[in-house]
Amino acid sequence: MVGMAILASISGRAGVVNEELLRRNPAMRAAEERIQQLEAQLERERQEHRDTAMLAGIRGTLGVTEARRRFGFVDGLTHCAVVGMAGSGKSSLINALRGLSNSDPRAAPVGTSETTRSVQRYEDPDLERPFVWYDIPGVGTLNQPEARYFLNHGLFVFELIIVLIDSRFTGSDIAILKCCRELNIPTYIVRSKALQHIRNVMADMGGAGSQGGEDERWEQACLGFICDTNRTVRVNLNAAGLDDQRVYVVDKENMLRLVKNQYRGVQLIHEQELLVDMLTELERRRSPNASSSQAPRRRAITGQA
């Protein structure tokens, strides 16, 4: 009890000191509101006997400040999280979004297994692209309530979250999608490694003896893969009690060429739509509280005016 009293005293004093921070920083204020919503949700779960333990630690403004410090947030930059299981292609996608090939010395290391379970932070090497990307390791089955997972991992501070999937959703994927829906954080479900899968479909369709030319066979294989992906995602979302959501089918090779503005002649899938939708949403959310000079520009990622 003495320890709780000390924590409460510290929290109270810090709350007075940090009230001005919340007023000055809209991102911190939004994160603070998300914490309050998550704690309310956890309290409802406790009342319904779905959780037997109370949240530990200090929340509120201290929680926002600590999460931003832990993730290395920098004012003026846009902080985006990419979550997914090992082997889903997170590092390759993050490298492509940063305009880097996997062989570039500045690139995030890639592989079929993750050597660490900690969050990895990657700034864009081009100062004209004010983005910071975070590799968030996913987990298979949650052993805690979804809101607790989301809160304890500090995911409420990110401005957008990409959920990168392979063939199905994991426990952490579902937790993130549910909490982001409740907290109005934009999420983007992305299926990566598209070219590899499409080429496999084309191989199953047969070779030169099959009907149609190479381009027609590619279009048929691409459409079939997109339809199968949408169907799989819809089944997973419905099973988790979530509404249908747009799925973006992308490939690292296409994304890299798009970001570097070298995509002429490239058969893009949903790469351009994903970038445009993310940037448009960021602009929409920032426009009421920021001048046009502070809003993200489309060329910030693609290099286009």
Where along the chain do its domains lie?
Answer: 1-71, 76-302
Q: What is the pLDDT of residues 201-245, one digit of tens each?
A: 888 877 554 556 788 888 999 999 999 999 999 998 999 889 999
CB-CB neighbours of 43 under 10 Å: 14
Higher-confidence residue: 202 or 27? 202
pTM: 0.75
At 129-183, the pLDDT tens digits run 889 999 988 777 777 777 778 887 888 889 999 999 877 788 888 888 988 888 8
Architecture of domain 76-302: 3-Layer(aba) Sandwich (3.40)
What are 78-96's pLDDT values in tens digits?
A: 999 999 887 788 899 999 9
